């Protein structure tokens, strides 16, 4: 039998490593690389009203990159992204700080952390849609404000506006900030804070010189979540802006709806490159691998 | 996940809740007319897969098919864009396509549908003229846009072209159609509305809406632009690039001035916008008006002096159908035109392609109200049993001939469609 043959232990270990890495490589290959390669290929194809066919044209990219709409839309999407990121970062950091440093007992910390995840028990579309009756012209927000005498006329900008879009984004994605920041904060050695205090640092100095630098990897992981989620979104923008705002994701979804698959593929490739570039820049600030 | 929102899923589900009892009553109202005719037992094993835009993809119809014809009809409801996609790219995923005529113009060339032999259609002679010669009555003027008869016939069994005469080979068998106009909230407007131009009236700033489906929205826009006296189109259904720029230019300006509260893409959204009072005037579809009224909120499908924007749908057969399944499909189409479905749909405010057979499945009062435009003598109920109109009410727009006789244009696909779509996206992003 073959198994009787003696194998060099180091070779054996190498083989085992290859075998262990194979399932993940296959999964990533089939479900990530292959689809992306397909999208890149199709982005050079041509199309008509009802079909698309192999070709090598750059028109899809040329049109996408030279259209004023694309630039306006990217600008708008970036605006949503920056606003959402700012609010999520502030809220996420504050909540995580409270959980990690103000709450002393571990069971309470865990309980409060679980409370944060309760909204995730429903679908994010439901969480988003439920803002609509709340913010509407005759919605709860406006009618309460009117009955309190704060305003006389309903506030029109509450719904179907950029405000509504950012509000929904922050609501949907703040937890993606809380979790990684809380995680890194929990691993900050409490004696470091004591040492800083003993050395005469004020509360603010401890925050800026000790906690924020040590929580950076968490902030960065949260930021990557928020940035990629907002950049790729198409449904929140459509519903919360009442269809009046565009986002990059909506351009792609419109093109798919109109059977312009190669154009949609080209737009997707451009979006993918943009997001990768942004993440690349963010990685320059923090070496997540080193810090983890 | 996201598709769910765009389809009619939510509203259909709520409709279906109350429908079981009503369906019984509806079925009871018509005599069974001796189907099936041709075959024996093996028909029971046939399953036909139909997909369409939800207006006629109603589970009651599938249940009635099982009862009358014996075979199974599986229905899938999608939004217009998804329907177009599927008809064009996934011919093996369906047997029967329930699509609109403008979609037919887009996808017929892909060759995924087969022409239908009109000699096998029992009620072919009774189909209204709109779908054959294009003329409702001999005096009618043919409206602009993709009029159904222009894409209704092909040259032969293998045809991928369109011919302008009754060739004996139909692309789609017409099933339902209607004349669309603006929906308004009379209680919040408080004065008469009689022209499309009112959509851009600054009086309704921040309270207007238009639908975000380019092929339909552009036609509504054209009606408004003409009504405002800005421009008279030689053919609204086939604009030049300059005309497209001009039309969307007017609307982009209005959008920037805050005229629109929102744009809607699915039926449910239009109902919510109107019912919540976010919008008081908007493009709307007939059953959406019904849905708003069913909540006890006044809503009028306002007839306008410039006329209606009309649409029509029909059933197309997949290229892959043959043998027993093809026979079953013809049997289904014949049954469809035989009246029960027509009556069911007419009680929702649509019209049947063969109205006279539907009459047998409606009460005298229902026929008078929905088709003849007469005042209702008793309560008018929808097919699901909800009271829609009290005695004395008259249908908005009047009789079939008043409404379908004042069609100004049909939903259309233009030669410059690709350009128009790009400009439309710019308008949405503006």
Within 203-222 of B, beta carbons closer than 8 Å to A belong to 206, 209, 212, 214
Using a CB-CB distance cutoff of 8 angstroms, which residues of chain B are in contact with residue A160?
261-262, 278
> pLDDT tens digits for B272-299?
999 999 999 999 988 888 889 888 899 9
Peptide bond into A133 cis (omega under 30): no
Question: 3-class SS at B237?
Answer: coil
| pLDDT of A29 strictly over 90 | yes
For residue B224, how many other CB atoms are within 10 A of its CB? 25
Give which of B84, B272, B428, B430 to mutate to test A binding, by max A Cβ within 10 Å.
B428
Distance, CA of B376 to CA of B323 (rounded, Å): 47
The alpha carbon of B340 is separated from its chain's Cα centroid by a whole number of angstroms, namely: 18
Residues of chain B contacting residue A139, judged by C-beta atoms under 8 Å apart: 276
Using an 8 Å Cβ cutoff, are B167 and B156 in contact? yes
Residue A132 to residue B264, Cβ atoms within 8 A: no
Residues of chain A positioned with their CB less than 8 A from the CB of B97: none
Residue A246 sits at the chain B interface (C-beta within 8 Å): yes
The reply to whether residue A69 touches residue B81, judged by beta carbons under 8 angstroms, is: no
CB atoms within 10 A of CB A292: 11
**What count of residues does chain A have?**
292
Q: What is the 3-state secondary structure (H, E, C) of A167-234?
A: HHHHHHHHHHHHHHHHHHHHCCCHHHHHHHHHCCCCHHHHHHHHHHHHHHHHHHHHHHHHHHHHHHCC
Q: Report yes or no: B189 at the A interface, CB cutoff 8 Å.
A: no
Contact A162, A241 (CB under 8 A): yes
Candidate from A99-108, A214-223, B33-42, B345-354 with smallest mean pLDDT: B33-42
Q: Which of A72, A125, A160 sits opposite B429 (nearest CB)?
A: A72
Nearest CA to B328 out of B47, B23, B3 is that of: B47
Q: What is the pLDDT of residue A281?
A: 92
Interface residue A130 vs chain B (CB under 8 A): no
Based on its alpha-carbon atoms, the radius of gyration of chain A, rounded to whole angstroms, reads 25
pLDDT in tens, A265-284: 999 999 999 999 999 998 88
End-to-end CA distance of chain B: 27
Residue partners of B37: CB distance under 8 A and separation at least 6 = B331
Nearest CA in chain A to B270: A242
Beta bridge mates, B179:
B310
* pLDDT above 80 for A258: no
B chain contacts of residue A72, beta-carbon cutoff 8 Å: 429-430
Q: How far is A69 from chain B (nearest CA, A)?
A: 6
Chain A residue with the nearest C-alpha to that of B279: A137
User: How far apart (Å, rounded) are the C-alpha atoms in residues B226 and B246?
Assistant: 12
Q: What is the DSSP letter of B163?
A: B
Report the C-alpha gap between B428 and B252 in whole angstroms: 8
Tokens of B395: 């249908």
Model confidence band, residue A256 (pLDDT cutoffs 50, 70, 90): confident
Q: Please, what is the average pLDDT of chain A?
A: 89
Q: Which of B262, B421, B426 sits opposite A160 (nearest CB)?
A: B262
**Top-level class of domain B182-306+403-429:** alpha beta
Query: Looking at domain B33-179+310-362, which of 3.40.50.12160, 3.20.20.70, 3.90.180.10, 3.40.190.10 is its CATH number?
Result: 3.40.190.10
| Residue A76: per-residue pLDDT | 92
Whole-number pLDDT of residue B54: 66
Q: Give the start-end residues of each E strand in A6-91.
A: 46-47, 52-53
> What domains does chain A contain, in order, with CATH numbers?
67-291 (1.10.3720.10)
Q: What is the pLDDT of residue A96?
A: 94
Is any Cβ of chain A less than 8 angstroms from the Cβ of B278? yes
Cβ–Cβ gap B5/A243 under 8 Å: no
Distance of CA B26 to the CA centre of its chain: 21
- Please name which of B266, B287, B262, B258 lies closest in space to residue B277, comparing C-alpha atoms: B262
Is the confidence metric ipTM above 0.90 for this complex? no
Distance CA B383, CA B396 (A): 19
How far apart are the C-alpha atoms of B107 and A27, rounded to whole Å? 36
Could you tell me what percent of chain B has a pLDDT over 70?
90
Whether the CB of A138 is below 8 Å from some CB of chain B: the reply is yes
**Are the Cβ atoms of B272 and A76 closer than 8 angstroms?**
no
B224-272 pLDDT, tens digit per residue, is 999 999 999 999 989 999 999 999 999 999 999 999 999 998 888 899 9
When CB atoms are compared, the residue of A49, A139, A251 closest to B425 is A251
Domain with CATH 3.40.190.10 in chain B: 33-179+310-362, 182-306+403-429
Kindly tell me if the per-residue pLDDT of A3 is higher than 80.
no
Closest-CA residue to B261 (of A128, A154, A137): A137
Find the closest chain B residue to A72 by CA distance: B429
Q: Any idea what DSSP says for residue B142?
A: P
Three-state SS letters, chain A: CHHHCCCCHHHHHHHHHHHHHHHHHHHHHHHHHHHHHHHHHHCCCEECCCCEECCCCCHHHHHHHHCHHHHHHHHHHHHHHHHHHHHHHHHHHHHHHHHHHHCCCHHHHHHHHHHHHHHHHCCHHHHHHCHHHHHCCCCHHHHHHHHCCCCCCCCHHHCCCHHHHHHHHHHHHHHHHHHHHHHHHHCCCHHHHHHHHHCCCCHHHHHHHHHHHHHHHHHHHHHHHHHHHHHHCCHHHHHHCCCCCCCHHHHHHHHHHCCCHHHHHHHHHHHHHHHHHHHHHHHHHCCHHHHC
CA B8/CA B265 separation, integer angstroms: 11
Q: Give the global pTM.
A: 0.78
């Amino acid at each position: 039998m073959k198994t009787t043959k003696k194998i060099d232990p180091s070779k054996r270990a190498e083989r085992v490593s290859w075998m262990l890495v194979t399932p993940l490589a296959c999964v990533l290959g089939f479900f990530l690389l292959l689809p992306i390669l397909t999208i890149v290929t199709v982005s050079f194809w041509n199309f008509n009203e009802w079909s698309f066919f192999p070709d090598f044209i750059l028109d899809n990219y040329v049109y996408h990159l030279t259209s004023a709409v694309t630039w306006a839309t990217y600008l708008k999407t970036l605006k949503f992204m920056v606003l959402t990121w700012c609010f999520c970062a502030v809220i996420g950091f504050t909540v995580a700080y409270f959980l990690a440093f103000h709450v002393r007992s571990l069971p309470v910390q865990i309980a409060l952390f679980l409370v944060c995840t309760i909204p995730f028990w429903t679908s994010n579309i439901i969480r988003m849609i439920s803002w609509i009756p709340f913010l509407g012209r005759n919605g709860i927000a406006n009618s309460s404000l009117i009955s309190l005498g704060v305003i006389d006329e309903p506030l029109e900008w509450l719904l179907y506006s950029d405000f509504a879009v950012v509000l929904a984004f922050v609501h949907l994605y703040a937890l993606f900030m809380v979790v990684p920041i809380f995680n890194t904060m929990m691993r900050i050695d409490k004696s470091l804070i004591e040492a800083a205090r003993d050395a005469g640092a004020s509360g603010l100095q401890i925050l800026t010189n000790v906690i924020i630098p040590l929580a950076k990897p968490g902030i960065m992981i949260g930021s990557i979540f928020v940035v990629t989620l907002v950049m790729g979104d198409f449904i929140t923008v459509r519903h919360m802006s009442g269809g009046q705002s565009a986002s990059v994701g909506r351009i792609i979804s419109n093109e798919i709806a109109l059977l312009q698959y190669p154009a949609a593929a080209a737009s997707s490739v451009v979006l993918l490159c943009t997001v990768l570039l942004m993440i690349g820049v963010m990685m320059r600030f923090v070496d997540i691998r080193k810090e983890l | 996940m996201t598709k769910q929102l765009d389809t009619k899923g939510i509203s259909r589900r709520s409709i279906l809740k109350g429908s079981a009892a009503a369906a019984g009553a509806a079925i009871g109202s018509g005599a069974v007319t001796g189907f099936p005719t041709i075959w024996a037992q093996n028909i029971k094993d046939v399953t036909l897969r139909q997909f369409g835009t939800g207006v006629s993809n109603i589970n009651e119809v599938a249940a009635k098919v099982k009862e009358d014809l014996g075979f199974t009809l599986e229905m899938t409801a999608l939004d217009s864009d998804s329907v177009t996609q599927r008809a064009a790219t996934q011919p093996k995923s369906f047997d029967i396509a329930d699509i609109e005529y403008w979609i037919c113009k887009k996808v017929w060339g892909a060759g995924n549908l087969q022409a239908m032999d009109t000699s096998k259609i029992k009620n072919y002679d009774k189909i209204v003229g709109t779908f054959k010669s294009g003329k409702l009555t001999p005096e009618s003027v043919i409206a602009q846009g993709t009029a159904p008869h222009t894409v209704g016939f092909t040259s032969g069994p293998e045809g991928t072209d369109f011919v302008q005469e009754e060739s004996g080979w139909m692309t789609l068998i017409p099933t339902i159609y209607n004349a669309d106009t603006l929906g308004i909230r009379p209680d919040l407007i408080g004065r008469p509305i009689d022209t499309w131009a009112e959509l851009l009236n600054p009086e309704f700033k921040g309270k207007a809406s238009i639908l975000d489906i380019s092929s339909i929205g552009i036609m509504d826009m054209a009606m408004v632009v003409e009504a405002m006296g800005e421009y008279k189109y030689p053919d609204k259904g086939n604009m030049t690039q300059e005309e497209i720029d001009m039309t969307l230019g007017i609307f982009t300006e209005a959008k920037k001035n805050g005229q629109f509260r929102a744009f809607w893409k699915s039926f449910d959204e239009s109902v919510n916008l109107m019912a919540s009072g976010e919008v008081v005037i908007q493009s709307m579809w007939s059953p959406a008006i019904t849905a708003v009224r069913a909540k006890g909120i006044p809503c009028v499908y306002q007839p306008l002096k410039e006329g209606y924007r009309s649409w029509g749908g029909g059933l197309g057969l997949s290229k892959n159908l043959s043998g027993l399944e093809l026979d079953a499909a013809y049997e289904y189409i014949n049954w469809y035109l035989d009246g029960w479905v027509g009556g069911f749909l007419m009680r929702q405010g649509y019209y049947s392609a063969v109205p006279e057979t539907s009459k047998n499945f409606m009460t005298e009062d229902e026929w008078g109200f929905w088709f003849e435009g007469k005042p209702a003598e008793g309560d008018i109920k929808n097919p699901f049993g909800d009271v829609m109109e009290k005695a004395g009410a008259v249908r908005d727009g009047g009789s079939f001939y008043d409404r379908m006789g004042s069609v100004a244009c049909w939903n259309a696909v233009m030669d410059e469609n690709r350009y128009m779509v790009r400009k439309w996206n710019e308008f949405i992003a503006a």
